[in-house]
Structure 1
Amino acid sequence: MEGSRVAKVTKTNVMRILTQHKISYDIHQYLGSDVHNSVDVATKMGIAPQQMFKTLVTQAKSGAHYVFMVPVEAELDLKKAAQAVGEKSIAMIKEKELLPLTGYVHGGCSPIGMKKQFQTVLDASALNFETITFSAGKRGFSVQVAPQDLEQAIPLIITEVSH
């Protein structure tokens, strides 16, 4: 029956890694062009903004890189973030550094499956939810996972790092 096929979702590296670690996940997709920020994306996907997390990549004064996951409606508290990883200070990396460092583009950056695995800090607010949603490593695609399951796939610290 022609025309009755369901569009197949292309698996991203993030999805492959989650499957490899036997972590259950759901896929969310939004490919519209009428979104201007992460909060818009969450709203279009029907996900509460406090339950959708963005992935932020930083560099410490020591030169080490760290990844932080905070709700899309929140901001990373750089002072709390530095304390969480035992550094004096940290700063966001420049957008042009993101792809060569992580293998991901702005708007499609996931804490899972980066070129090199960096210490990741998940904001403690994630524990208020059964599941959280974050980028599946490709713009327009997100995965929904139980926050405690993330520890099976990446080195994870859970503490308060947003405001």
Structure 2
Amino acid sequence: MGRRRTGAGTPATVMLDRAGVDYEVRRYEHDPAADSYGLEAAAALGVEPARVFKTLLVEADGALAVGIVPVDTLLDLKAVAAALGAKKAVMAQPADAERVTGYVVGGISPVGQRRRLPTVLDASALDHPTILVSGGRRGLDLELAPQDLLAVVAGSTAQVARRA
């Protein structure tokens, strides 16, 4: 990619800038009536849904963690629990996700969260030179290399996505 665009002014872009990560800010007009934030982003940006990833918070054995999967898939709770070394995982309550990350649902970025949480990125991300994740608010995505995302969030990869 070889370019960095600043000025989005979110904790995610600040963290990427500080880490020296190359990324591109991708903006679109968010429709509050959209059924799926992620599919809306893919369509608005003209990117295949397999390259646009959503950030989901889970509670695994009582501790919060992050699962990142393509927007056209679901998070496999058994697989993410196994990847985290937990017995069980359930989706976190939206209010807990917002409080812990500092972002609003539909704009939760895996980068720049208030507290660093264990993070698992679906292994399919490695099939693409770049992926898109939320930049910290609705209508703002960041395009970056999956390896850079993993490095900045100290994450791991595993098959954690499943088709509906």
- Name the aligned partner's letter for residue 18 of structure 1: L
Counterpart Cα distance in 1 of 2:133 and 2:149: 11
Contact 2:26 2:142 in 1 (8 A): yes
Contact 1:57 1:93 in 2 (8 A): yes
1:11 equivalenced with 2:9 (yes/no): yes
Counterpart Cα distance in 1 of 2:56 and 2:29: 21
- Name the aligned partner's letter for residue 74 of structure 1: T
Displacement, 1:16? Answer: 1.2
* Secondary structure, aligned partner of 1:104: coil
Counterpart Cα distance in 2 of 1:41 and 1:122: 19
* Secondary structure, aligned partner of 1:153: helix
- Name the aligned partner's letter for residue 101 of structure 2: T
1:50 equivalenced with 2:50 (yes/no): yes
Counterpart Cα distance in 2 of 1:132 and 1:82: 23
1:29 equivalenced with 2:27 (yes/no): yes
- Cα deviation, 1:126-159, whole Å, max 9, x if unaligned, reads 0110000000011110000000112331111111
1:153 equivalenced with 2:155 (yes/no): no
Contact 1:35 1:41 in 2 (8 A): no
The ranges of structure 1 where at least 4 consecutive aligned residues each deviate by more than 2 angstroms after the TM superposition are 8-11
Contact 2:11 2:113 in 1 (8 A): no
Mind listing any 5+ residue stretches in structure 2 that lack a counterpart? 1-5
TM-score normalised to structure 2 length: 0.89
Counterpart Cα distance in 2 of 1:118 and 1:144: 21
- Name the aligned partner's letter for residue 124 of structure 1: A
Partner of residue 115, structure 1: 114
Displacement, 1:11? Answer: 2.2
Counterpart Cα distance in 1 of 2:133 and 2:77: 20
Aligned length: 155
TM-score normalised to structure 1 length: 0.90
Displacement, 1:10? Answer: 3.2
Mind listing any 5+ residue stretches in structure 1 that lack a counterpart? 1-7
Counterpart Cα distance in 2 of 1:146 and 1:128: 11
Change (3 A) 1:10 1:149: closer
* Secondary structure, aligned partner of 1:107: coil
**How is 1:14-93 mapped onto 2 (pairs within 5 angstroms)?**
14-33=12-31, 35-37=34-36, 38-61=38-61, 63-93=62-92
Contact 1:104 1:137 in 2 (8 A): yes
Q: Percent identity?
A: 36
Partner of residue 133, structure 2: 134
Contact 1:127 1:147 in 2 (8 A): yes
Displacement, 1:9? Answer: 4.7
Counterpart Cα distance in 1 of 2:65 and 2:138: 21
Specify the structure having the higher radius of gyration (Cα): 1
